[in-house]
Amino acid sequence: MSLKRKDLLGIQDMSVEEITLVLETAESFKEVSGRDIKKVPTLRGKTVVNLFFEPSTRTRTSFELAAKRLSADVINFAVSASSVSKGETLLDTARNIEAMQADFIVLRHPMAGAPNILAKLLRASIVNAGDGGHEHPTQALLDLYTLREKKREFKGLRLAIVGDIAHSRVARSNIYALTKLGAEVRVIGPPTMMPLEVERLGVKVFYDLDEGLRGVDVIMMLRLQLERQGIALFPSIREYSRLYCLTPERVKLAAPDALVMHPGPINRGVEIAPEVADSVSSVILDQVTNGVAVRMAVLYLLSGGK
Amino acid sequence: MDVKKAERTVMDAQEINRALTRVAHEISERSRGVANVALVGIRSGGVHLANRLVARLKEIEGTTVPVGTLDITLYRDDLNARKEQPVLRKTEIPFDITDLKIILVDDVLFTGRTIRAAMDGLMDLGRPAEIQLAVLVDRGHRQLPIKATYVGKNLPTALEETVEVFLDETGGPDRVAILS
């Protein structure tokens, strides 16, 4: 069984069966990552190009490790050093990469929908590694994997996603995924960071953190995108932190065995207190470990979908 | 068009039983006991056979040898040629294989390609002292220079025939059949 698709562009159009297939396949790859020899010959001779138009360390490294553990060859296309700064369009860049017989292009781009355009025009499999404020499907899949590992069931699981919901592709992909799987999703953040009519995605909106956290099984924190704070969404970081920082006292409002997640990189003391980030309920580093296994699963499953 | 194939039983439950008992005896004889011996069943046909051999060896030698399961999907040589990716299952070998005598167990030995993949998979997990191969049925038509150490039954077949092993554990009843 394969994902019957060439590309992974978003969670929105994935079925529950497809999501489950990725998660189950990732279990085998987690075992591979736990070995002394962390490499299998599965994608020998295939080429994966990481094409990143936005800075990223974690996601790029994770994809790179995933590809290398499958024996694929990996090229990292660093945008600042590339011909993009000489005026080349995205499509021309991608066509040049494809002309070098790339089998996968892992794309991160500031514009929503950029991977969809490449997917339509290229033969290579396109994996969306984050497109603007749209989707970040592999992040959602690794979050799901981590949740499944710790909580077993999605049905009836109560989750709160906290932070800048409007600008977060992580939030969007997770909302699509978790509502499909039957979880109860709350979104918490200041009104200026709440997308219009977000309720239509099937979530409950809270503007007060303490109220929203009550009784939840999982707290998913989002990074406050400090680099975006030229846009005045709240008066000061201090005020944001006072109202929306996840402190140990606030964690106590959630269910006793609640998990704390964060896609990283974390801003200690801004959206999450250091004591919480380092506490036993935090699964932030599990998320990173699982990310490699999930991305291996995605590359493996897409390589059969042509 | 899915025509139901004619089925001819070539081994019944009792014959399978006797063959496994003999293979178990051969294993203990060849290794003079079962010290440092471990069994690894190849998914999916070899898993239950490996467990049955473990039970037989326990009766003969009085010790339970370690047993694991190997999924060879990631080591297949036809991943590029297939339309669909095969479903990946877990490799579960809960012991260090280094310096052990590993006996790979599979139901049917055919082209030898599965065994090649299994040996490559094993080598990535450690450095066994020795790898042996036990199969319930050897149907010939090898495409690689691979030979079983223990064979339940040598079964001459035509290339276009299919050999199917049914076991109680997977719905059974126990039998080996040729479909043509």
DSSP characters for A36-88?
Answer: SS---STTTT-EEEEEESS--SHHHHHHHHHHHHTT-EEEEEESTTSGGGGT-
CA distances from B134 to A270, B67, B148 (A): 61, 14, 6
> What was the ipTM of the complex prediction?
0.81
SS3 (DSSP) at A282: strand
- Chain B nearest CA to A140, separation (Å): 21
Q: Does B96 touch chain A (CB under 8 A)?
A: no
Tell me the chain A residues in contact with residue B91 when contact means C-beta distances shorter than 8 Å: 28, 31
Structure confidence at residue B139 (pLDDT): 96
Least confident of A118-127, B77-86, B103-112: B77-86
Q: What's the half-sphere exposure (Cβ side, CA atoms, 13 Å) at B61?
A: 24
Structure confidence at residue A235 (pLDDT): 84
Q: What is the average per-residue pLDDT within B76-88?
A: 82
Structure confidence at residue A250 (pLDDT): 96
Asked if A286 and A147 count as a contact pair (C-beta separation under 8 A), the reply is no
Q: Does B98 touch chain A (CB under 8 A)?
A: no
Q: Do A35 and B124 touch (CB under 8 A)?
A: yes
Residue B1 has pLDDT above 50, yes or no: no
Interface test mutation site (partner B, options A2, A17, A22, A28, max chain B beta carbons within 10 A): A28
Q: What is the average per-residue pLDDT within B8-30?
A: 96
Between B43 and A306, name the one with better pLDDT: B43
- Chain B nearest CA to A114, separation (Å): 27
Q: Which residues contact B4 (CB under 8 A, 6 or more apart)?
A: none
Rg of chain A in Å (alpha carbons): 19
- Chain B nearest CA to A55, separation (Å): 32
- Kindly indicate the confidence band of residue B151, based on its pLDDT and cuts at 50, 70 and 90: very high
Q: What is the average per-residue pLDDT within A96-109?
A: 93
User: Dihedrals φ, ψ of A142, to 5°?
Assistant: -75, -30
Q: What is the average per-residue pLDDT within A155-170?
A: 95
Residue A85 has pLDDT above 80, yes or no: no
- Chain B nearest CA to A31, separation (Å): 8
Report d(CA A267, CA A235) in Å as an integer. 18
Asked if B104 and B133 count as a contact pair (C-beta separation under 8 A), the reply is yes
Q: Do A28 and B89 touch (CB under 8 A)?
A: yes
- Kindly indicate the confidence band of residue A88, based on its pLDDT and cuts at 50, 70 and 90: confident
Q: What is the average per-residue pLDDT within A116-139?
A: 95
Q: Do A28 and B91 touch (CB under 8 A)?
A: yes
Q: Does A225 touch chain B (CB under 8 A)?
A: no
- Kindly indicate the confidence band of residue A138, based on its pLDDT and cuts at 50, 70 and 90: very high
Q: Does A39 touch chain B (CB under 8 A)?
A: yes
Q: Does A303 touch chain B (CB under 8 A)?
A: yes
Report d(CA A85, CA B127) in Å as an integer. 50
Report d(CA A305, CA A211) in Å as an integer. 45
Structure confidence at residue B86 (pLDDT): 84
Residue A228 has pLDDT above 80, yes or no: no
Q: Which of A186, A183, A184 is nearest to A163 (CA)?
A: A186
Q: Does B85 touch chain A (CB under 8 A)?
A: yes
Structure confidence at residue B153 (pLDDT): 96
- Kindly indicate the confidence band of residue A231, based on its pLDDT and cuts at 50, 70 and 90: low
Q: Which of B81, B88, B103, B92 is nearest to B36 (CA)?
A: B103
Q: Do A41 and B75 touch (CB under 8 A)?
A: yes
Structure confidence at residue B155 (pLDDT): 95
Enter the pTM of the model: 0.90
Q: Is the alpha carbon torsion for B108, B111, B112, B116 positive or negative? A: negative
Taking only residues 259 to 298 of chain A, the set having a beta carbon closer than 8 angstroms to any beta carbon of chain B reads 297
Q: Does B127 touch chain A (CB under 8 A)?
A: no
Residue of A28, A35, A301 with shortest CB distance to B125: A35
Q: What is the average per-residue pLDDT within A275-300?
A: 95
Q: Do B85 and A305 touch (CB under 8 A)?
A: yes
- Whether a cis peptide bond, with omega within 30° of 0, leads into B44 is yes
- Chain A nearest CA to B88, separation (Å): 6
Q: What is the average per-residue pLDDT within A105-109?
A: 95
State the burial class of residue B8 (Cβ atoms within 10 Å of its Cβ: 0-12, 13-18, 19+).
exposed
Q: Chain A residue with minimal CA distance to B82? A: A304
- Kindly indicate the confidence band of residue B53, based on its pLDDT and cuts at 50, 70 and 90: very high
Structure confidence at residue B114 (pLDDT): 96
Structure confidence at residue A192 (pLDDT): 92
Q: Do B91 and A31 touch (CB under 8 A)?
A: yes
Asked if A302 and A6 count as a contact pair (C-beta separation under 8 A), the reply is yes
Tell me the chain A residues in contact with residue B125 when contact means C-beta distances shorter than 8 Å: 35, 37
